[in-house]
Homo-oligomer: A and B are copies of this chain.
Amino acid sequence: MARAVQKRTLETRARLIAAAEEVIAEAGYEAMRVEEVVQRAGVAKGTFFAHFRDKEALLERLIGTRGDAQLDRIEALPPPADIPAIIAALNPLIAEMTSERYVFDLILRYSGAASRAETGPIAQTFARTDEVLSQWLALGPFRKDVTPALLSSGVQAFLMHVTALHFCELYHEQTLQEMLTELLEAWLLPGGTGAKAG
């Protein structure tokens, strides 16, 4: 009996999420209105708040889900053998994060993992990214004088750095790619090509 009820609950939640995705696809995250979502989902406003603490909770979930999809894809890739491969793998994730200023702000707010009572989806995405990167860096032909965990941490720092610069009018897409490349080379292969030799 409890299961039957839960099914209805899941359906409602799915409808809300689908409606929200629809709205976002049409007008972007920032333009999403709770009112609009419940109307499209054919659900009462109160129901919305029975499923999500607030509007941001839904957004967090939505963004987290997308991030997870990216990570699923990334995990399925063969460990990259060089820096261009890393960048190529991570680029869609960067694209996701820079799709909208509002999204980036949200990500920043929620990336602070357990700053909230429970670890939210976005924080989890960050944790997963860390794991994936660590493995890659351990397996690939990168410097071994420091732990993969530290390397991964640094890569993430660069990732966020470059992502933040996306919203700075001074930089062009290409410049940022170059900057990221340079940073990663200097970080992962100090001594340049000599790293391979060394």
Binding site for B on A (CB under 8 A): 101, 105, 108-109, 111-115, 123, 143, 145-146, 150-151, 153-154, 156-158, 160-161, 164-170, 179, 182-183, 186-187, 190-192
Other-chain residue from B112, B115, B170, B190 in contact with A145 (beta carbon distance below 8 A): B190
**Residues of chain B lying within 8 A (CB to CB) of residue A183:** 150, 153-154, 157
Kindly identify which residue among B105, B161, B186, B192 contacts A160, using a CB–CB cutoff of 8 Å: B161
- In the docked arrangement, what's the CA distance between A171 and B137, Å? 23
CB-defined contacts of A154 to chain B, threshold 8 Å: 154, 158, 161, 183, 186-187
Tell me how far the C-beta of A34 lies from the nearest C-beta in chain B, rounded to whole angstroms: 15
Q: Which of the residues B112, B150, B164, B192 comes within 8 Å of A112, measured between beta carbons?
A: B164
A168's partner among B114, B166, B186, B191 (CB-CB below 8 A) is: B114
> Please, how many angstroms separate the alpha-carbon atoms of A190 and B186 in the complex?
9
Contact partner, A146, options B156, B157, B186, Cβ 8 Å: B186
Name the contact of A169 in the complex, choosing from B114, B170, B187 (C-beta under 8 A): B114
Q: Are A105 and B109 in contact (CB under 8 A)?
A: yes
| Given A105-B108, A182-B146, A153-B161 contact (CB < 8 Å) | yes
| Interchain CA distance A88-B115 in the complex, whole Å | 26
Task: Note all chain B residues with C-beta closer than 8 A to A182.
Answer: 146, 150
Query: Which 4 interchain pairs have the tightest Cβ spacing?
Result: A190-B190, A112-B168, A157-B161, A112-B167
Q: Give the nearest-CB partner of A126 in chain B.
A: B168
